[in-house]
């Protein structure tokens, strides 16, 4: 059985996690630390303590803005931003359900748009996202209605085209993704 620490270490950005000295520069630099269940320094400590379920079920990494401030400032080269992305990927692949944040459905709508068109169709992505959080929108109708003028403004300024741009190579792109999964799975 692979330990949780090894699982994180084997991801593209997770290899420096053992260098962490728990100084807390990451947490001090994070604009979202206050919203996270466990801020960045603590998450790193929890990964090293093998607390897999607690970490992957938390909302912490989903609040990462990818601003890379922690990564730029870390005195040990740990790259907490990359660790956050790795945790998101692990949580998504292993079907962890995360409460209290709509970021996972937003990301799924975004990736879905890439997979069907080859490019992101922002209007389609937004519609799909809002439909996916429909129950929440219905329980907050005022907040939902307030979003409409914003979308309309973007639309009226030609910034939300109705139709997606579809690339010729979208079939190729799907084949590349499928083949890559197969190759990674065998190794």
Partner 1 sequence: MKYYSFFPGCSAESTGLGLGLSAEAIAEPLDMELVELEDWNCCGSTPYGSLAEEESIAVAARNLALAEKRGLDLVTPCSSCYVTLSKANRHLQEHPTLLAQVNEALAVADLEYHGSIRVRHIVYVLYNDITPESIASKIKWGLDGLKIAPYYGCQLVRPDYGLDDTEFPHTLDRLVECLGAEAVDFPLKARCCGGSLTLSEEDRVLGLIRSLLQSAAENGAQCLVTPCPLCQTNLDAYQSRVNARFKTSYKLPVLFITQLIGLALGIEAKSLGMNTNIVSPREVLDYIYNRINYMTTHQKVDKRG
Residues that bind partner 1 (CB under 8 A): 11-13, 31-32, 35, 61, 63, 65-69, 71-72, 79, 81, 84-86, 88-89, 92-93, 101-108, 110-111, 114, 118-123, 126, 129, 146, 150, 153-154, 157-161, 165, 167-170, 172-173, 175-177, 179-181, 183-184, 187
Determine if residue 77 is left, alpha or beta; phi over 0 gives left, psi from -120 to 50 gives alpha, anything else beta: left
In terms of CB distance, is 48 or 108 closer to partner 1? 108
Residue with tokens 């429909």: 134
Quote the least distance from Cβ 12 to partner 1, whole Å: 5
Quote the least distance from Cβ 63 to partner 1, whole Å: 7
- Determine contact, residues 60/39, Cβ cutoff 8 Å: yes
- Determine contact, residues 83/17, Cβ cutoff 8 Å: yes
Distance between terminal CA atoms of the chain? 16
Quote the least distance from Cβ 24 to partner 1, whole Å: 18
Q: Return the DSSP state at 164.
A: P
In terms of CB distance, is 50 or 105 closer to partner 1? 105
Quote the least distance from Cβ 52 to partner 1, whole Å: 17
Q: Give CA separation, 141 vs 102, 126, 135, 138, 146, in Å.
A: 16, 17, 10, 5, 9
In terms of CB distance, is 145 or 159 closer to partner 1? 159
């Amino acid at each position: 059985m692979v330990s949780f620490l090894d699982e994180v270490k084997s991801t593209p950005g997770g290899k420096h996690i053992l260098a962490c000295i728990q100084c807390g520069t990451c947490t001090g630099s994070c604009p979202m630390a206050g919203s996270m269940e466990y801020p960045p320094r603590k998450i790193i400590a929890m990964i090293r303590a093998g607390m897999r379920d607690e970490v992957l079920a938390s909302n912490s990494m989903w609040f990462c803005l990818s601003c890379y401030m922690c990564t730029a400032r870390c005195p040990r080269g740990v790259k907490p931003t990359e660790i956050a992305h790795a945790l998101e990927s692990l949580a998504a692949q292993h079907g962890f359900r995360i409460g209290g944040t709509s970021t996972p459905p937003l990301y799924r709508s975004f990736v879905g748009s890439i997979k069907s068109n080859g490019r992101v169709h922002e209007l389609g992505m937004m519609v799909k996202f809002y439909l996916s959080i429909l129950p929440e929108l219905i329980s907050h109708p005022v907040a939902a209605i307030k979003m409409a003028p914003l979308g309309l403004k973007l639309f009226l300024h030609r910034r939300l085209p109705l139709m997606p741009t579809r690339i010729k190579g979208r079939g190729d792109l799907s084949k590349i993704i499928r083949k890559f999964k197969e190759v990674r799975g065998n190794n």
